[in-house]
Structure formats: structure tokens, C-alpha cells
């Protein structure tokens, strides 16, 4: 999380994003919530963006109780272009200018190419790719003006290996587009002291992936056997990398896609 060192001044190396304002999409659960909690723990004022109002309010209540967080909830669908502008306006009015954007909102499609219908294809791309673009479009310009900011997008290992166990066709395509968008925005933002990076999680224990494993019980053992560490990851293990990328400790990292996958893809 940027803390005023956008000009490249030396920093302490500590991951201490105290006092910054962070927006986390998909923040009501899974990787999004874990990232929001990690940022809040280090003093960030956090806005949770999620389409599930009840879950989002419960998540924010936990952040306030456990971490003493200051923040707000903005409910809506990231696939709706108007939501991004609303997020910007509400956050700036309540918390101040946005320093950090974490794009974690996503939906999973595990249908094979020949089973996928056009409606699902469009919906997966709308949430997983266009939603990232809309939030970046709304919040990045102000970061560039202030020469201060961090954007961390959540892609997927599926984007790099064509799907693997889950996330075929639409999901892998949408997450691959996030990789491309990350690099394009990183090139644009870097001269202005703003970094854009992404994480590419492998098989992570979340509610979203649990559905795919329930639909196909044989998928879980087939997935785990391909992971050198012999287990699936936890949301907090992805969140720790997100928080690092959002901090001044990562001030010279830009345009990267960091795998968080237990060694599944060693590059």
C-alpha cells in the first residue's frame, strides 16, 4: 500500500500500510475478505465492494470487531459499469482518496467448452474481466494524479495453464485477460509512481471452488496430487501476497503475476 513514497524514496522494508484507503472487490468472503482483513490489520481504512449486502455487512462488522477497522460497504455488481463511479464517489467522500485497489471479485465456471452457453460466457467475462477494467478505469486516474497508488488484481493459475482441474474455457480466458490488463496498466502507471501487479492463485480453499468440487468429487484428489506441497492453499496465504504487493515493501515490483500455488507451476 502506498504510503507517500511514490517518487521512489527509500522505505523501511516493513509491510506497514497504515492510514491508507483500500478498496477490495469481492471482499465479503474468500480471498477478498482475507485481503481486506490483512489490510485492515495494518491500519488501512477499507471499503468492501460486494453484491451480497448481508455478507458484506457481516464481513465489515468482523473487521471492526477483530481489527478495529474503519471502513464502509458498497453493494453492487462489478459487472455494472456504473458501480465503479459510485465506489469512487462514496469512498472519497467517506474515507478519502483511494490508495489501494484489490480486484478480487470473481465467479467460477467449470463447464467444458462444448457445454458452455453464450449467456454464461458473457457473464463470466463481465465479472472477471470487465469488472476489473471498470474499477481500474474509475480509480487509476486519481492515483496517477497523486503519484500514489497500488493496484493488485487477482488472476488465476488457470490463466497460465489453460484451466487445469477447474476453471476451463470462460474462466481461464477471463483470468488470462486480467494478466494482459495488468501488464498494460503497469506500463502506463509506472512512470507516475503507481504499481499494478496481480496474483495467480492455484487451488485455494474457498466457497467458490468448493462448489466445483462438490459437483465432481473426483476432482479434488486429482487436483491435490498435482501440487508439490501436497495440499490446497488457504485464502490467507493468497491475501498475504496481496498485502505485500499493496505495501511499500513491493515498491519496485510492477507488472508481475505472482503464482500462489504450492509449486504447481514453477517458472
Q: What span, in angstroms and rounded, lies between the C-alpha atoms of 50 and 101?
A: 14
33 catalytically annotated:
no
Q: Are strands 45-50 and 21-25 parallel, antiparallel or unpaired?
A: parallel
Tell me phi and psi for residue 97, to 5 degrees: -60, 145
Q: What span, in angstroms and rounded, lies between the C-alpha atoms of 220 and 234?
A: 15
Q: What span, in angstroms and rounded, lies between the C-alpha atoms of 81 and 85?
A: 8
Residue whose C-alpha is closest to residue 142's, from 109, 177, 189: 189
Crossing angle for the helix pair 170-189 and 131-146, to the nearest 10 degrees: 10
- For the chain, the C-alpha Rg in angstroms (whole number) is 17
Among 33, 134, 171, 213, the one annotated catalytic:
171
Instruction: Indicate which residues carry an active-site annotation.
Output: 171
Amino acid at each position: 500500500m502506498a504510503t507517500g513514497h511514490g517518487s521512489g524514496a527509500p522505505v523501511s522494508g516493513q509491510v506497514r500500510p497504515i492510514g491508507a484507503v483500500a478498496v477490495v472487490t469481492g471482499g465479503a468472503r474468500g480471498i477478498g475478505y482475507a485481503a481486506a482483513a490483512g489490510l485492515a490489520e495494518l491500519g488501512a481504512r477499507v471499503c468492501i465492494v460486494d453484491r451480497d449486502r448481508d455478507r458484506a455487512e457481516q464481513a465489515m462488522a468482523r473487521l471492526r470487531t477483530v481489527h478495529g477497522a474503519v471502513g464502509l460497504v458498497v453493494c453492487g455488481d462489478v459487472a455494472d459499469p456504473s458501480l465503479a463511479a459510485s465506489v469512487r464517489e462514496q469512498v472519497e467522500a467517506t474515507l478519502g482518496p483511494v490508495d489501494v485497489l484489490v480486484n478480487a471479485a470473481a465467479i467460477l465456471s467449470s463447464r467444458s467448452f462444448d457445454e458452455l452457453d453464450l449467456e454464461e460466457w458473457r457473464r463470466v467475462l463481465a465479472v472477471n474481466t470487465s469488472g476489473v477494467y471498470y474499477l481500474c478505469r474509475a480509480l487509476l486516474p486519481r492515483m496517477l494524479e497523486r503519484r500514489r497508488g497500488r493496484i493488485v488484481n487477482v488472476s488465476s493459475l488457470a490463466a497460465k495453464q489453460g484451466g487445469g482441474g477447474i476453471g476451463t474455457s470462460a474462466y481461464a480466458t477471463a483470468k488470462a485477460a486480467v494478466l494482459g490488463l495488468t501488464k498494460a496498466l503497469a506500463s502506463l502507471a509506472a512512470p507516475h509512481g503507481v504499481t499494478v501487479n496481480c496474483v495467480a492463485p492455484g487451488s485455494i480453499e474457498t466457497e467458490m471452488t468448493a462448489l466445483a468440487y462438490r459437483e465432481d468429487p473426483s476432482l479434488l484428489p486429482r487436483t491435490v496430487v498435482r501440487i508439490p506441497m501436497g495440499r490446497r492453499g488457504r485464502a490467507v496465504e493468497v491475501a498475504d501476497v496481496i498485502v505485500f504487493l499493496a505495501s511499500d515493501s513491493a515498491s519496485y515490483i510492477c507488472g508481475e503475476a505472482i503464482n500462489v500455488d504450492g509449486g504447481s507451476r514453477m517458472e
